[in-house]
Structure 1
Amino acid sequence: MSIWWSLHLRREAASVPLARRLLLGTMETAGVDPDVSYDLSVALTEACANAVEHGGGGRGRPQGAPTGAFRVTAYLDGETCRIEVADSGPGFPGAEVPTASADAENGRGLRLIEELADHVHFGNRSGRGGAVVSFDKILKWKDSPSLLMA
């Protein structure tokens, strides 16, 4: 079974729960184990919150201004789910992605994504600029999926 969807969302706080609900609904319909779905939804929430907060500070806009958009793409393919969140902000500075210690004010969301996913990549978009956070997780299935596999 393969499921793929992509959202182009406004850089507003209200966009974050929309993406999370769509992901959880997709996972429920596909029959993914609720614990795996929850982990992925928390990681998605963190990635989207970063895009909303930091994803529009480039190109002359003041940091934190609620303008612009970001994109969320999810792929359920076989035993894996891959999620990608891309924004149009300044991107990650330098070669290393800033992750924080447990008591730091910022950067904890990126650490949380690393803990919840099986594979994580933080990078910058080439050409147009902006940050890209992508993460994969191996899926586990409920005993009786909602979606009939054909």
Structure 2
Amino acid sequence: MSIWWSLHLRREAASVPLARRLLLGTMETAGVDPDVCYDLSVALSEACANAVEHGGDATPGASEAYRVTAYLDGEKCRIEVADSGPGFARPPDPRPARPDVEHGRGLCLIRELADHVHIGARPGRCGTVVSFDKILKWKKDPSLLTA
């Protein structure tokens, strides 16, 4: 089975749960194991929250949106969150955030919840793309197959 979708969302906090619910609904309908659904939905929420917080700049006319794309293809799910912010001057530090800080845990969480993570610049543009994937496990009785 192959399913994919892409959303163009405003950089607003309200967009994060929308993307999360769409991903959860897609995976649950396709019959993905609930634990995998949860892991990927948390990782997506963190990536979207980063795009909302850091994914733009103060330049007039700059994009106030970001894009989320999800691919469920065979045994793997890949998610990409792309923004038009300033990007990273250097690759993000893979070390965990200090426990006494409130911010800086999102990328660490994504790395823990996904099987493979790539964080890089948007080709030919400003911004960042966070992509991650996870091998899927399936429920025994997916609703998509019984509908």
Normalising to structure 2: TM-score of the pair?
A: 0.91
Task: Give the structure 1 partner of residue 92 of structure 2.
Answer: 97
Secondary structure at 1:147's aligned position in 2? Answer: helix
For 1:79 and 1:101, how far apart are their aligned partners in 2?
Answer: 34
1:28-39 equivalences in 2 (<5 Å): 28-39=28-39
Task: Give the structure 1 partner of residue 81 of structure 2.
Answer: 85
Task: Give the structure 2 partner of residue 49 of structure 1.
Answer: 49
For 1:115 and 1:103, how far apart are their aligned partners in 2?
Answer: 19
Secondary structure at 2:143's aligned position in 1? Answer: coil
How far residue 42 of structure 1 moved from its aligned partner, in angstroms, is 0.2
1:141 aligns with 2:138: yes
Secondary structure at 2:144's aligned position in 1? Answer: coil
- RMSD, aligned α-carbons: 1.7
Structure 2 unaligned residues grouped into runs of 5+ = none
1:108 to 105, 114, 138: 105
- Name which of structure 1's ranges 121-130 and 3-12 shifts more when overlaid on structure 2: 121-130
For 1:82 and 1:109, how far apart are their aligned partners in 2?
Answer: 17
Task: Give the structure 2 partner of residue 125 of structure 1.
Answer: 122
For 1:32 and 1:102, how far apart are their aligned partners in 2?
Answer: 32
How far residue 118 of structure 1 moved from its aligned partner, in angstroms, is 0.4
- State, as a whole percentage, how many aligned pairs show the same letter: 79
Q: How many residues matched?
A: 143
For 1:143 and 1:41, how far apart are their aligned partners in 2?
Answer: 21
Task: Give the structure 2 partner of residue 64 of structure 1.
Answer: none
Letter of the aligned partner of 1:91 in structure 2?
A: G
For 1:105 and 1:32, how far apart are their aligned partners in 2?
Answer: 32
Secondary structure at 2:106's aligned position in 1? Answer: helix
Letter of the aligned partner of 2:68 in structure 1?
A: V
Task: Give the structure 2 partner of residue 22 of structure 1.
Answer: 22
For 1:68 and 1:127, how far apart are their aligned partners in 2?
Answer: 19
Instruction: Answer whether contact 1:102 1:108 (CA < 8 A) is retained.
Output: no
- Name which of structure 1's ranges 98-107 and 8-17 shifts more when overlaid on structure 2: 98-107
How far residue 113 of structure 1 moved from its aligned partner, in angstroms, is 0.3
